[in-house]
Structure 1
């Protein structure tokens, strides 16, 4: 993977452990409003992060840029990509489409997205997220948006079998504030929010956070505004040769979460599965081949 494949956020995450205290403070300041942060003068970025101008210059070079102007150019490119609508995205791909069949081109893009995303995930962080999601002492709320509600529902249907106290909230519904009434300190919110980020989702996350909930966010490489208040954030690559973004990488993560949480409390999960299968048999919902 080349440096051109990496977003500035990726570069910061890779370099975070090698940064000085002041540089790390600057990095967190940039990520707070990424990628819009850093578009102003160098002196303003330094002031906002409460660091010196030389600190900004040094960190920009550590991220692989010759200077602040080159750093800003890359930020502007990422910002344009972040706000693209489906028609604009399609035009970009159509101009330089490879000659291979779409099956191969699309699959290559998805595989690259998966590899890039997994390279950025710490196994310990993933395990921590799964432990929170599986904990039956914590109520679990799952939230998606206009498109990502399909991912939320997929996780919800499985989590509902695996553990008790699971709620699916659709942030596109006007009734979502009702669900916050029973939220307790330490409850868990799994939130899906990808570009063209939804205002309802951010407001819901803020209100849940105010009630002491833990927030696990699944987002894209540019990261939803929810990331600034999330406890754990998984940023998946989503760009493919299509007018639409791909959720294949995020779905892979979701299915891996499901696999993990079913094993954490397997004895209780097995009992729930057996109970559900018994009800299926009674209702004759599915055909049985004997």
Structure 2
């Protein structure tokens, strides 16, 4: 089977499918992975296609039939719910364990190099372009939020964006402040979400709320895909293999840096002028 989750591969190959098969793919992506556990007949009805079309669809992705397809989904679900403890006790950490006579330094270089290469190989160029377009649009407001281990990544990207443009905030943690921020969301808003396994329920709710109000979501997640992906316009699925039982965020940081590079280029002189003015004000007020 190919690398990456089924949702990842469907998203990348939608353009190569027939119109009827694309309908199956969109139904699966809109309710992933739950829709994949329905019967062939139920999935066909939801997509308004025939049962043979559903079977052709799963065959396109290398499955020998619908039971094989659902077995693959079950294996993904087990991986999605993995914790540091379960990974510690596992006999396989997605390539993260050391080989015989391998030093820690060599192990780290091997694991992280492979994860970075695979992440960038599987990153759709149009998603990167669209993220830069959304985050660089001065008419849009940008809000960022992360999770237990990824909140600092949301803050890291937010600090870069604040230096390059106006209208950037990190979603508050306290309920009253958060509710106040959500109240004003609409078509001009962009939400940047970081959500990795074990996924946090509020992230799907936030993306769904903004989608209903006509806004856009940019999602950073792992290859098993946060449930928020069903409501995201841009999905950056990064590899998380690490030498330790903890999921690595090294590839995520590399994608963030790439997005920032794209924004600097896209914003051009406007970003340059803002950086100059920010530096002047910081010096004038004794902040640097």
1:53 equivalent to 2:18? Answer no
- Residue among 128, 147, 150 paired with 2:149: 147
Aligned residue in 2 for 1:199: 201
Aligned residue in 2 for 1:74: 72
Contact 1:15 1:63 in 2 (8 A): no
TM-score normalised over the length of structure 1: 0.88
- SS of residue in 1 equivalent to 2:154: helix
Give the direction of change, closer, same or farther, for the CA distance of 1:32–1:209 in structure 2 (3 Å limit).
Answer: closer
Distance 1:38 1:65 in 2: 13
1:255 equivalent to 2:257? Answer yes
Aligned length: 283
Contact 2:127 2:236 in 1 (8 A): no
For residues 207-286 of structure 1, what are the structure 2 equivalents within 5 Å? 207-286=209-288
- SS of residue in 2 equivalent to 1:37: helix
Aligned residue in 1 for 2:174: 173
Aligned residue in 2 for 1:86: 84
My pick for the range that moved more, 184-193 or 100-109, is 100-109
Q: Structure 1, unaligned stretches of length 5 or more?
A: none
Distance 1:203 1:248 in 2: 27
- SS of residue in 2 equivalent to 1:235: strand
Distance 2:12 2:185 in 1: 35
Cα deviation, 1:52-82, whole Å, max 9, x if unaligned, reads 2211221222111222222222111111000
Give the direction of change, closer, same or farther, for the CA distance of 1:76–1:215 in structure 2 (3 Å limit).
Answer: same
- SS of residue in 1 equivalent to 2:220: strand
Give the direction of change, closer, same or farther, for the CA distance of 1:285–1:186 in structure 2 (3 Å limit).
Answer: closer
Distance 1:94 1:208 in 2: 38
RMSD of aligned Cα (Å): 2.2
Aligned residue in 2 for 1:124: 126
- SS of residue in 2 equivalent to 1:38: helix
- SS of residue in 2 equivalent to 1:185: coil
My pick for the range that moved more, 247-256 or 237-246, is 237-246
Distance 1:11 1:265 in 2: 32
- Residue among 102, 105, 122 paired with 2:104: 102
Give the direction of change, closer, same or farther, for the CA distance of 1:276–1:211 in structure 2 (3 Å limit).
Answer: same
TM-score normalised over the length of structure 2: 0.88
